[in-house]
Amino acid sequence: MDEIGIKLIEEYVKPALLAIKNSGAYAPLLSILNILSEEGMCSSVLGTHNELSRVLSQITIAQHSYFVAYTMLQRFQQSASWEPQLRSTTPQILISGLGHDLGKIPRYSSPCHGRGRYDHAIVSANVVADVFCNHNSSPPWLAMVLQAIRIHHSDYEVKNNYLQKLLRRADWEARMIEARRIKGTII
């Protein structure tokens, strides 16, 4: 796990452990972290068609996912006026950020699933749904998380899903920072 992954665990996962366990997200979260550590070392970019994607291809799916989850929690913390709200919302934010690009992992992406920009989002949502199903866990917020993941590259905005906007913005912000860190690239 990289530096951001460790910060994510120390600053957000450990303080919210009780909320994560009570929400039924603990075992699925461990499974997703396990997938990222075992299979998330591949490139976070599908195809290198321009300079930006060539730069970002140096970032692994695991690094990018930790960064997006961390950024989402930071942004939510800045907007949340109430500490318990952050703790109780941490599980769904964590699962959205860590799971949003799982569909880019070669084991899950296949010709029939597709490897495109929009396809990987649908595959990611299916992988996260399977993880929860395997643990017989179905938190009331799971549908909102799956929807946010499924449309994280879409311009379409759904009502009553704050996660969609949070994920999309954090994904974009993470990409800008990743690119600048590697090469000083301006998007």
Nearest residue (CB) to Fe ion, 101 versus 119: 101
Residues 99, 124 contacting (CB under 8 angstroms)? yes
Q: Which stretch binds Fe ion (CB under 5 A): 23-31, 50-58, 91-99, 163-171?
A: 163-171
User: Which one, 83 or 118, has the nearer CB to Fe ion?
Assistant: 118
Q: At closest approach, how far in Å is the CB of 121 from Fe ion?
A: 6
CA 28 to chain centre: 13
CA nearest to 87, candidates 20, 173, 147? 20
- Answer for which of 56, 109, 171, 178 binds Fe ion (CB under 5 A) is 171
CB of 94 to Fe ion, least distance (A): 15
Question: By C-alpha distance, which of 35, 162, 172, 153 is closest to 92?
Answer: 162
| 178 near Fe ion, rule: CB under 5 A | no
> Taking CB under 5 A as the rule, which mask of x and - marks residues 52-71 in contact with Fe ion?
--------------------
Judged by CB under 5 A, the chain residues 78 through 117 that form the site for Fe ion are 101
Q: How many angstroms separate the CA atoms of 150 and 63, rounded?
A: 20
Q: Tell me how far apart the alpha carbons of residues 126 and 47 are, in angstroms, rounded to a whole number.
A: 22
Q: Which is nearer to Fe ion, 144 or 151 (CB)?
A: 151
**Of residues 23 and 105, the one with the C-beta less far from Fe ion:** 105
- Provide the CB-side half-sphere exposure for 121 (13 A, CA): 16
Between 29 and 72, CB nearer to Fe ion: 72
Shortest gap between Cβ of 118 and Fe ion (angstroms)? 9
Burial class (CB in 10 A: 0-12, 13-18, 19+), 159: exposed
User: What is the C-alpha to C-alpha distance for residues 84 and 141, in angstroms, rounded to an integer?
Assistant: 17
Site of tokens 């996962």: 13
CB of 57: closest distance to Fe ion in angstroms? 13
Which span sits near Fe ion by CB under 5 A: 54-62, 128-136, 166-174, 178-186? 166-174
Where does this chain bind Fe ion (CB under 5 A)?
101, 171
